[in-house]
Structure 1
Amino acid sequence: MALRMARRREGEMTQMCSAGGRGVGCRGLGQGSSMCCCCWNLAVGVFLLLLLLASGAAGSGMRSGNAPRISDEVMALLVFKAGVIDPNSVLSSWNDIDMDPCHWTGITCSSATGRVTDITLVGLSLSGTIARALVKLEELQTLTLANNNFTGPLNGELAEFSDLKVLNVSHNALSGSIPASFGSAGNLYALDLSNNAFTGTLPPELFSYNCQSLRIVSVSVNSLEGPIPASIGSCFEVQSLNFSYNSLSGKIPDGIWALESLLDIDLSFNLLTGQIPVGVGFLKNLTSLRLQSNNLSGGVPAELGNCGLLEHLVLNNNSLIGELPIQLGNLKSLVTFNVRDNFLSGSVPSWVVNMTFIRELNLASNGFSGQIPSFIGFLYQLSSIDLSANNFSGPVPHEMMTLQNLQYVSLSDNSLTGVIPPFLSGCGSLLSIDLSRNLFDGSFPAQIMSCSNLQHINLAENMLSSSVPEEIGFMPGLQLLDVSSNQLLGPIPSTLGNATQIRVLRLQRNNFSGPIPAELGNSTLLIELNLSENNLSGPIPLELGKLADLEMLDLSHNSFSGVIPEGLGLLTKLVVIDVSHNQLQGPIPTDGIFSQMNTTAFEQNAGLCGTAVNISCTTFPNPLIIDPNDPNAIPGTLSPLFRSKRSQTILSVSAITAISAAAAIALGVIMVTLLNMYAQTRRRSNIFTIDSDPQSPSAAEMAMGKLVMFTRRSDPKSDDWMASAHAILNKDCEIGRGGFGTVFKAILAHGETVAVKKLMVQSLVKSQGEFEKVVHMLGNVKHPNLVGLQGYYWTDQLQLLVYDYVPNGNLYSQLHERREDEPPLSWRLRFRIALGTALGLAHLHHGCVPSLIHYDVKSSNVLLDDEYEARISDYSLAKLLPKLDTYVMSSKMQSALGYMAPEFACQSLKITEKCDVYGFGVLLLELVTGRRPVEYMEDDVVILCDFVRALLDEGRALSCVDSKLLSFPEDEVLPIIKLGLICTSQVPSNRPSMAEVVQILELIRPLVESRGS
């Protein structure tokens, strides 16, 4: 009876939920809470089911004296199932009709006792929560719920299983802190909590004296912070530790190195600092040590040489210094040795030859020098070698090219000289070779064609001076060929049309001559074709219109003639085209990308016409030729052929007289029109009001300038510009000043409001041609989170940029210059601004071809529109400057201090998109703390990112949150703080890309929007 009542109650609640009704317990929940009500009712129903079943079992037991304890396990499993969403009905066998759960999906029972020992539900698309009812399974030894979508916290009561040996809930969406109670599970063998959303610290109790059975611990890919507990040294039998991809900080505890049973340590992608402890010598069984992408310093410990079984030593992306110790020569079992992106120096040590099993050798981006030793050729198992971005010099040893297992070779960015060594027949395994940016000379290495499986060939920026062999086109797997910036000559091999897998072909800045082979149209997978700055001639082949995947085409600075094929306008994926500085003629196509391109893409082609170059394609009628010797000639028709000069009369004398009279009348009309225009121009110039700046140009100078507007709604021939010009020069309309100039608000004659930036760096701005090329490129950049560039104005004395007007000022003013009576920005607005800024920067980095760097990311360059959506301004304006590095460190950019990445001050480091990521990280911390990036005290200077990082190390990160935020969600703010600190890593490669930043923020956004605050 009790069971039937419970089932009926559960069925009623489920039916009510499915009907969207509201029942008992719904009062006070408010409108729109039927789902809440249903969950409440269902929970009540399940609780009653459990209660009634328990009471029934107890009553039966009192009557019979031998209650079947298996019913407790059935109840526990059914309650667990009630909290699970099972879209594929994989748990359909779990029902109370079959009272023996040992036959249910994923359940294993003991043959001796019949009790449940294993629950294994892996990759079944299950979601919901993990019910605490499982604690009723008193003999459970294995609980594996990996690769599902479970959410909510992990209940610490699961640690009460006295026999639990394996707990694997990896690859779910569990959150909250890791329960410390699992440290008391004395029989626990494997604990895998990886790939979830756990936060907080690693509890020291997790590694208490009871952890003697623990062998495997993985908490990788979570959001854990704080130090690695020193108590880890108590788990003497542990074999594998994986704490990677978190935000753990502090030093590596010395106790780890006393764990003699350790086989595998992975602490990579954290915020660990300090030196690698020298106690490593105890780890004689260690086979894998991964410490990459941290902030570790000091040298590589010589004691590592005592780990004779070590197979994988990965220390890249840290701040390690000095030379590699000779003791590492004892690591004869090494398969992977990676110290990329550190500050190591010296030559390649001779002991490397002892690593006869090594497959990956990566010394890139350090300060190694000297010659590449020939003994590299004795590492017969080597499949990947990367020595790029060092100071190696001299020739490449021929022995390296004899390695028959070699797949990836990168020697780029060094000072290697001589000819490229021959590739022998043993290179059939080679997939990629990068020898770019060296000093190689001589011929293109013809033997390279013997590497039949080669996919990527990069020989750019050397001094190669031969032709490219025709055989290059017969490499079936070739995907990238980059021989740009050499001295190669001769024709482009027509056989490249046979390379049907090629996607990137870069031949620019060479001495290639002759036509473009029409056969290139057969390489239909091409996405980038760059033939610029050569001596190519002839027409642009119609066959290029077959390259349906083409995204970038650069034919500039050659001697091409003829017309631009209409078929290029039909390439829907084409986003960049440049045919400037040629001898092309005829109309520019208007389809596809051509309708969006600016003048710079077509400049220096005297014969081109069309809207893109503001030249009308006027069609002149053929001359009227009447043949008097043709008896069938009809007056006013064309003669079929020119017979002889004497037998043809072009026009009669009377016709010529009439035309001359008409021409004279037309000339008079034109002169009168010009005089009227001149008078009108003078009248318009009289309305200008020039400001008191003695360097301001006169109105006449402005009238002689070049105005180009990109948007169709803004007609450069209208009076809008002239009518608003006085506002540009009126200080009363000034709305901002920055490192690049002064910004004015202007209203055009038709009512549109624009922002006009008057550049203040006239002496630094490039030539007009270079200026227009950059501005036209920026005018093509469109994104909702970028301030649109509408046009520009140029004279030698004055350069103006016309932007969309954004009404709510900039983020810096909203954060730091608000009046006391103005409410502060809410957390929800701050998050939305952060996400919008990230989306805008991600578009510059990943959505533009070529990618664009902002160079000056700061809160004053983040404008806010009517809806307080972020709009980034001043992006890539530094491209207007001939010497970016000099300008960046000048007083013009002092307002960016605190936002500037360390590499700006180091000429040996490249300026990349990661500089913008650094500035964005500071901006994130600025949004959270409400503090300026740099604050000057009486006797101290506080750098924001250092200040926040110190608080995080002390476990007090939330104490830095803006005091004006009276309430804020810790589970949203804390990840933002950590993201800001990761973005401001001193090592550029440790910073995420803006695309990754957007992904992280998108994961947080549902929480923000659901709370609505």
Structure 2
Amino acid sequence: MGDHRRKTISVTLFLAMTLISLTNGDINSIQLNDDVLGLIVFKSDLHNPSSHLASWNEDDASPCSWSYVKCNPKTSRVTDLSLSGLGLTGKIGRGIQKLQHLKTLSLSNNNFTGTIMSLSNNNNLQKLDLSHNNLSGTIPSSLGSIKYLDLTGNSFSGTLSNDLFTNCSSLTYLSLSHNRFEGELPSTLSRCSVLNTLNLSSNRFSGNPSFVSVLWKLERLRTLDLSFNALSGTLPLGILSLHSLKVLQLQGNRFSGPLPSDIGLCPHLNTVDLSFNRFYGEVPTTLQRLKSLNHLDLSKNFLSSGFPVWIGDMTGLVHLDVSRNELTGALPSSVGTLRSLKVIILSENKLSGEIPESLESCKELVSVQLKGNGFAGSIPDGLFTLGLQEIDFSGNGLTGSIPRGSSRLFESLVTLDLSCNSLTGNIPGEVGLFSNLRYLNLSWNKFNTRVPPEIEFLQNLTVLDLRNNELIGSVPGDICESQSLQILQLDGNSLTGSIPEGIGNCSSLKLLSLSHNKLTGPIPKSLSNLQDLKILNLEANKLSGEIPKELGGLHNLLLVNISFNRLIGRLPNGGVFQRLDQSALQGNLGICSPLLRGPCRMNVSKPIVIDPNSYGNRNNNEGRHGNRTSNGSSKYHNGMFLSVSVVVAISAAILIFLGVIIVTLLNASVRRKLAFVDNALESIFSGSSRSGRSLVAGKLVMLNSRTSRSSSSSQEFARNPESHLNKASRIGEGVFGTVYKAPLGEQGSNLAVKKLVMSPIIENLEDFDREVRILAKAKHPNLVLIKGYYWTPETQLLVSEYIPNGNLQSKLHGREPLTPPLSWDARYRIILGTAKGLAYLHHTCRPTTIHFNLKPSNILLDEKYNPKISDFGLSRLVTQDGNTMNNNRFQNALGYMAPELECQNLRVNEKCDVYGFGVLILELVTGRRPVEYGEDSFVILSDHVRVMLEQGNVLECIDPAMEDDYSEDEVLPVVKLALVCTSQIPSNRPTMAEIVQILQVITSPVPHRMLDSF
């Protein structure tokens, strides 16, 4: 009723104004009423929760005394209406049209909705600020002779009309940032000759940069911000004409080619940000002329050559970021002349040499980030005397020990990351003096000391990562004294003793990982106090006893791994424990779970000891009532009972004790001899004729099939296989060979036959037979089953089951126009099934198998769109070493290869598959290829999605073919998981077992999402 009443008042007042304008009265009175009634009509369209407009009264003759209204003192006409930040909602109604002398209208930081078409007739308007509302629609083709226009942070869309800038000779400030404008910029923008600020950032403007040459004509321009659009192509020369330019921001686009050589010839530049583009080549030497430049960001491009030695000439630099490029060489000592420098970020380049000691001269430094380079030598002691807030030297080759800090550093340091180096010695006890330290990562080094007990004094510490060192001793019992710790990782050390009960005091803990140590004793019940805990990893220790049932009450717990310990008994009821898979439980003495084949062991309760006197007394009393006639007979019976109980209890205890010892020894023996057993089994199955099976060239060998090996179809195929492998039967082709369809199955059903490329391994029949039989042992619902093989010196064939529904590549990128697109449910099923198949290869299959060639064409789909992974393990079959990919012929598909594999002869591991799986997720969610090429540029899908996520526009990446057939609560966590999987640092990627658990959690009704918490 309120909205209806306001609309009625609005219409009535508007009609009243129209009638007044048609009457013959005093003209000044009419003008005053226009402003009063116009503002009242405007107010009637608004919701004013805090009554800021209470002074606006329709009975007043003039609005000049009203709040937030200013008038011309000579004419008493309204010239300024400023309602910024008042929490108003509603629409900009027709009443504003009556304010014909209005020059300034500021409605920023409210919640206005609707369009702004009602402002198109205000010809005297000079300043219009509608920023940070929820306005939508398009901009009127004409806004008069406006000088200042700010529409930042709304939902305007569409293209910009050429007419919009036809009469812009007075426009000095224009900001359309953070909207949804698209298309190319109008050429008439060059007519805005006095424009000094142009901000079009965070929209969807596209096209090549030919318009930039138009912008170069705006000689009075001081700020140019075109960041985070979809602009592409190379930047033309001509920036030199912008003599007044101070701020140039082009980051987050698709610009490519070399940087303009004249970019350093604008003498007044103080901010240059060209990050998140595709620029390549050298850093222009003209930049050294920019003495006033204080902010330079060239990160996330493809800039190469040596680090500029003239960097010391840019004495005004405060912020320098050239991270994620391909810069080489040493960091020059001239960097020490940058006395105003506060932030230096050189991460993820190819820099080498030692960290120059001259960097200590930059006394204003607060952040030094050198992550992911090839720096060697020790850390300069002088750096730890500065007031640094962030130190990130991770992923280098630094040696020596951690320098002792100064009192200045103790007060300032917030982040210290020295992980992935070769640092040695002790972790200094002074670490406890960093009063503001929140993030401490010393993982993947060679520290051979105890966990410093002084860590308990770090009252603000939220992340402690000491993984994969040589730490000894026990886990400090008071490590969570501060109660602020959220992530604790001590994996891969030599810690002993039990998990302290005091760890239950870590009330804020979300991740606890103590795997691959030598911890003993039970899992403490105090862990049930960690109600925020999401990940618990206790894998590969010597923990014993039963899992405390209280852990079932941890409702936020999402991932648990307790494999390879000595645990027994039932799993806790409730929570994540009912969803654990085999990989999280295997390798224990006797956990009771239908997923495990081993024995189920339970703790036997202590035998009940009965007081003989109590029985004797009771029987004596009963005797007095006539139930017993002799105290002696009662004592005799009581004595016999105790003897039998004692014997049974002692016998049971001895049997249990012996059983535990035997099972423990067997378990240890099995672990030590696992490789020996695998080799023995392979020898049995691939032995010579001495084992009862001879290997014959030119024979079709069927393994996982009941089809007779001497059937007519098999015999015919063996006699002349090439006749079946023709163009008509070809169904696919890849780097490992060509795939054909042949009727070799039961009752003439089809099987898939891959004709392999030649390699040294398959030239030997015994080696080939052994490797195929290893692959054939991999049996999982999401893996293509290997059926057999055929071998001659000239031809080697691999026979597998035939999947008639084709592969994922054809469903995503080769779909016929009339074929419906994959639904979100189908895509999610493909993602989860593929993850389960890879998890089986990584964690359950023996020997562990790395796919290394994951891509959509190797994901086959059955009739219900359940995925089946093909070509797994073929890198072992056709290369000399399946774990070393030094032949470009067998490298992973474009866009799927993990970045660390750019190093030659690098041994691959499971994290390479995780990277490819992350790209596969993004391809399924977006419907786009992992790398897309344009005329002058290319787009890497993972980088594009990551940028869109940072901008808050990731939903725009979702495949439009799905329309609205998906849930944002499922898609967003899946996209975030994909970006974690495609991390540049392998150790940051989860395992496939963890990925399976995360995917299963995403569709479960868990209120908090793990990926939103980390």
Name the TM tier (shorter chain).
Answer: 0.5 to 0.7
What's the counterpart of residue 426 of structure 1?
408
Q: Counterpart amino acid of 2:114?
A: G
What's the counterpart of residue 491 of structure 1?
474
Q: Counterpart amino acid of 2:196?
A: R
CA distance in structure 1 between the aligned counterparts of 2:74 and 2:6, rounded to whole angstroms:
43
Pairs aligned (count): 808
* CA distance 1:905–1:406, shift in 2 (3 Å): closer
* CA distance 1:899–1:337, shift in 2 (3 Å): closer
What's the counterpart of residue 340 of structure 2?
357
8 Å Cα contact 1:922/1:944 also seen in 2: no
What's the counterpart of residue 220 of structure 1?
201
8 Å Cα contact 2:546/2:567 also seen in 1: yes
CA distance in structure 2 between the aligned counterparts of 1:280 and 1:608, rounded to whole angstroms:
67
The Cα offsets for residues 292-348 of structure 1, whole Å up to 9 and x where unpaired, read as: 101111111121121111111111001111123333322222110000000111211
- Aligned to 1:585, which of 550, 553, 568? 568
Do residues 984 (structure 1) and 963 (structure 2) align? no
Do residues 856 (structure 1) and 837 (structure 2) align? no
* CA distance 1:311–1:379, shift in 2 (3 Å): same
What's the counterpart of residue 122 of structure 2?
137
- Aligned to 1:121, which of 74, 93, 107? 107
The secondary structure found in structure 2 opposite 1:454 is coil
What's the counterpart of residue 450 of structure 2?
467
How far does residue 507 in structure 1 lie from its aligned partner after superposition? 1.0
What's the counterpart of residue 971 of structure 2?
none
What's the counterpart of residue 60 of structure 1?
23
How far does residue 696 in structure 1 lie from its aligned partner after superposition? 1.8
What's the counterpart of residue 696 of structure 1?
703
**Structure 1 residues 422-431 or 361-370, which shifts more?**
422-431
What's the counterpart of residue 613 of structure 1?
596
Q: Counterpart amino acid of 2:200?
A: V
What's the counterpart of residue 149 of structure 2?
167
* CA distance 1:488–1:354, shift in 2 (3 Å): same
* CA distance 1:216–1:349, shift in 2 (3 Å): same
8 Å Cα contact 2:704/2:776 also seen in 1: no
- Aligned to 2:313, which of 330, 341, 354? 330
What's the counterpart of residue 410 of structure 1?
392
CA distance in structure 1 between the aligned counterparts of 2:472 and 2:642, rounded to whole angstroms:
46
* CA distance 1:412–1:537, shift in 2 (3 Å): same
CA distance in structure 2 between the aligned counterparts of 1:313 and 1:333, rounded to whole angstroms:
10
* CA distance 1:251–1:284, shift in 2 (3 Å): same
8 Å Cα contact 1:436/1:459 also seen in 2: yes
The Cα offsets for residues 37-58 of structure 1, whole Å up to 9 and x where unpaired, read as: xxxxx9xx97x9979955862x
8 Å Cα contact 2:438/2:463 also seen in 1: yes
What's the counterpart of residue 785 of structure 1?
none
How far does residue 578 in structure 1 lie from its aligned partner after superposition? 2.2
* CA distance 1:65–1:110, shift in 2 (3 Å): closer
8 Å Cα contact 1:106/1:120 also seen in 2: no
CA distance in structure 2 between the aligned counterparts of 1:126 and 1:78, rounded to whole angstroms:
17
Query: Within 5 A, what are the aligned runs for 1:592-603?
Result: 592-603=575-586
Query: Within 5 A, what are the aligned runs for 1:31-430?
Result: 57=21, 59-60=22-23, 68=30, 107-113=69-75, 114=77, 115-131=101-117, 133-158=118-143, 160=144, 162=145, 164-183=146-165, 184-208=167-191, 210-212=192-194, 214-226=195-207, 227=209, 228-403=211-386, 405-427=387-409, 428-430=411-413
How far does residue 632 in structure 1 lie from its aligned partner after superposition? 3.4
The secondary structure found in structure 2 opposite 1:545 is helix
8 Å Cα contact 1:461/1:486 also seen in 2: yes
CA distance in structure 1 between the aligned counterparts of 2:882 and 2:36, rounded to whole angstroms:
72
CA distance in structure 1 between the aligned counterparts of 2:375 and 2:451, rounded to whole angstroms:
27
* CA distance 1:335–1:589, shift in 2 (3 Å): same
What's the counterpart of residue 956 of structure 2?
1000
How far does residue 456 in structure 1 lie from its aligned partner after superposition? 1.2
What's the counterpart of residue 684 of structure 1?
none
Query: Within 5 A, what are the aligned runs for 1:635-646?
Result: 639-640=641-642
Q: Counterpart amino acid of 2:204?
A: S
Q: Counterpart amino acid of 1:281?
A: G
How far does residue 433 in structure 1 lie from its aligned partner after superposition? 0.7
* CA distance 1:205–1:791, shift in 2 (3 Å): closer
Q: Counterpart amino acid of 2:275?
A: Q
**Structure 1 residues 331-340 or 595-604, which shifts more?**
595-604
How far does residue 186 in structure 1 lie from its aligned partner after superposition? 1.7
8 Å Cα contact 1:341/1:364 also seen in 2: yes
CA distance in structure 2 between the aligned counterparts of 1:698 and 1:633, rounded to whole angstroms:
71
8 Å Cα contact 1:72/1:136 also seen in 2: no
CA distance in structure 2 between the aligned counterparts of 1:567 and 1:327, rounded to whole angstroms:
63
8 Å Cα contact 1:914/1:991 also seen in 2: no
CA distance in structure 2 between the aligned counterparts of 1:485 and 1:336, rounded to whole angstroms:
34
Do residues 632 (structure 1) and 634 (structure 2) align? yes
How far does residue 595 in structure 1 lie from its aligned partner after superposition? 1.8
CA distance in structure 2 between the aligned counterparts of 1:126 and 1:644, rounded to whole angstroms:
84
What's the counterpart of residue 824 of structure 1?
818
Q: RMSD between aligned alpha carbons?
A: 5.5
The secondary structure found in structure 1 opposite 2:509 is coil
CA distance in structure 2 between the aligned counterparts of 1:570 and 1:793, rounded to whole angstroms:
41
CA distance in structure 1 between the aligned counterparts of 2:267 and 2:638, rounded to whole angstroms:
103
* CA distance 1:737–1:924, shift in 2 (3 Å): farther
Q: Counterpart amino acid of 1:457?
A: L
Q: Counterpart amino acid of 1:984?
A: L
Query: Within 5 A, what are the aligned runs for 1:803-952?
Result: 812-814=809-811, 824-825=818-819, 829=821, 856-858=854-856, 861=859, 874=869, 896=893, 911=912, 945-946=932-933, 949-950=934-935
* CA distance 1:856–1:524, shift in 2 (3 Å): same
Q: Counterpart amino acid of 2:112?
A: L
How far does residue 794 in structure 1 lie from its aligned partner after superposition? 12
The secondary structure found in structure 2 opposite 1:473 is helix
The Cα offsets for residues 167-198 of structure 1, whole Å up to 9 and x where unpaired, read as: 11110000011233443322212111111000
Q: Counterpart amino acid of 1:224?
A: F
The secondary structure found in structure 2 opposite 1:254 is coil
How far does residue 372 in structure 1 lie from its aligned partner after superposition? 0.6
CA distance in structure 2 between the aligned counterparts of 1:606 and 1:432, rounded to whole angstroms:
42
The secondary structure found in structure 1 opposite 2:135 is strand
CA distance in structure 1 between the aligned counterparts of 2:49 and 2:852, rounded to whole angstroms:
46
How far does residue 580 in structure 1 lie from its aligned partner after superposition? 2.2
8 Å Cα contact 1:899/1:922 also seen in 2: no
The Cα offsets for residues 110-141 of structure 1, whole Å up to 9 and x where unpaired, read as: 3444221111111221111112x323323212
How far does residue 278 in structure 1 lie from its aligned partner after superposition? 1.7
What's the counterpart of residue 479 of structure 1?
462
How far does residue 358 in structure 1 lie from its aligned partner after superposition? 1.2
8 Å Cα contact 1:518/1:541 also seen in 2: yes
The secondary structure found in structure 1 opposite 2:577 is helix
The Cα offsets for residues 491-512 of structure 1, whole Å up to 9 and x where unpaired, read as: 1212213131111111111111
The secondary structure found in structure 2 opposite 1:632 is helix
Identity of aligned residues (%): 28
